[in-house]
Structure 1
């Protein structure tokens, strides 16, 4: 284990293929491009998988063959675009041939951004599929948390909500009353997470005359699984200094910031 890491890494390896035991659908321009209960999880990197969809479960009316073959890590794929009415997404689809990794022949990989929306069962999912090897827990705590930047206090709380997410450091969600608001200004930035939903906004931090954008965020209406963080604020551990139980925590290195 890395000397400065105190959280578990992902369990999957690159090129792992597993069945996805849920209905998966993709929408573009108001039409269902595919609807399947036979999707595969394919780990293209360790952090999370992508969905590969059986070609038989794709509505061929919306595929545009671009007559271009690509030799990819997982086999030869024929490139397609998508067209639904006047909505076009060129070069957003790969259809894998017979030389693909075992189990992937005849499957289709869609660029996530090539569709307007993805659904697992009847719930929209954002950014990427939910990783079946990821667990996300929200636990209320009475352990004191202090957040600083360059020696300036940004927030302090004795009632945080700890969010534990596999592959990431613990995030400390704090009441807005715990913030030193003179250093924080709202940011219109919005991001999405497959486990937590869509953020309501971010917070910029200004210390010593220097503005640092988007160091903290809020979910006013998070996914049901993480409701305890609703309306609370969390900071990137990677970019600020955090004390837990009076002990300074090392700044982690993650795929967000290294």
Structure 2
């Protein structure tokens, strides 16, 4: 099971640019702020890209110049900050407009802060957290492998009908039926997280073992994205924080979370 350690990250060079083949839209306060089929993927960091949108595909009347910010020099060119106003709703420093860029195709584009918008869409499906890396694949496959989850020698779950989720660059995640989990040792948590590929979690579970609480060891999605529907309602544990046995063989804990 050592094949799950040190999985290669899916990276691209910083400032790498590609055309986005999908329609991209984003909304704030019920108003569509941008609608484009000419967006660009720009890798500001190696692991995932951001959307850069032609200014002509943005409702420019909603952009409010940030006079105090002035111009900002980046590796992608000269950018100016703008706020975003929809009715009485104002999001300061919501967008950077690249007035000049040495990178072909980026002059006159806008890079929005993701959280400044209420919702983003690729075609008609909502996207969460940040744009999806076009080189990441996520597959949820049903299996009859036996999976046992322990912490400090205490069994938290055991299943012979898991769903295995394979996500490029990450350890395999094992999603188990709730009936295969020991909820006498699990307590609900208020934690909620979101993933660009799976959607927003419905909740987390902590484990109380020998009087000690181990927070947020497991999570579940009641309404995951269409691509990973087989994991709906199932529970997955962090490989990094539990002892995991697959077909009786212990899986080494991944070295990174």
TM-score norm. by structure 2 comes to: 0.93
SS at match of 1:251: coil
Q: 2:79 is matched with which residue?
A: 77
Q: Is the 8 A contact 1:21 1:37 kept in 2?
A: yes
Q: 1:186 aligns with which of 185, 188, 194?
A: 188
Post-superposition CA distance 1:66-109 (Å, at most 9, x none): 13111223222101111111111101211112234332211111
Q: 1:47 is matched with which residue?
A: 47
Q: 1:201 is matched with which residue?
A: 203
Q: 1:112 is matched with which residue?
A: 114
SS at match of 1:182: coil
Q: Is the 8 A contact 1:146 1:155 kept in 2?
A: yes
Quick check: 1:127 aligned with 2:145? no
Taking the aligned partners of 2:252 and 2:188, their CA distance within structure 1 comes to 26
SS at match of 1:248: strand
Quick check: 1:18 aligned with 2:22? no
Q: 2:152 is matched with which residue?
A: 150
Taking the aligned partners of 1:15 and 1:219, their CA distance within structure 2 comes to 34
Taking the aligned partners of 2:102 and 2:92, their CA distance within structure 1 comes to 23
Q: 2:234 is matched with which residue?
A: 232
Structure ranking higher on relative contact order (CA contacts 8 Å, 6+ apart): 2
Instruction: Please identify runs of 4+ aligned residues in structure 1 that moved more than 6 A.
Output: none
Taking the aligned partners of 1:179 and 1:23, their CA distance within structure 2 comes to 41
SS at match of 1:127: coil
Post-superposition CA distance 1:16-57 (Å, at most 9, x none): 211001110110111111110000111122221111111111
Q: 1:164 aligns with which of 144, 163, 166?
A: 166
Unpaired runs of at least 5, structure 2: none
Taking the aligned partners of 1:197 and 1:246, their CA distance within structure 2 comes to 31
Q: 1:220 aligns with which of 218, 222, 242?
A: 222
Q: 2:212 aligns with which of 210, 213, 220?
A: 210
1:7 deviation in Å? 3.9
Taking the aligned partners of 2:127 and 2:41, their CA distance within structure 1 comes to 15
Taking the aligned partners of 1:237 and 1:200, their CA distance within structure 2 comes to 19
Unpaired runs of at least 5, structure 1: none
Q: Is the 8 A contact 2:157 2:182 kept in 1?
A: yes
Taking the aligned partners of 1:19 and 1:182, their CA distance within structure 2 comes to 51
Instruction: Supply the RMSD in Å over aligned alpha carbons.
Output: 1.7
Q: Is the 8 A contact 1:47 1:167 kept in 2?
A: no
Q: Is the 8 A contact 1:64 1:80 kept in 2?
A: yes
1:55-66 alignment runs, 5 A limit: 55-66=55-66
1:6 deviation in Å? 6.0
Taking the aligned partners of 1:188 and 1:134, their CA distance within structure 2 comes to 29
Post-superposition CA distance 1:95-147 (Å, at most 9, x none): 11223433221111101000011011111111111221111111111111111
TM-score norm. by structure 1 comes to: 0.93
Q: 2:177 is matched with which residue?
A: 175
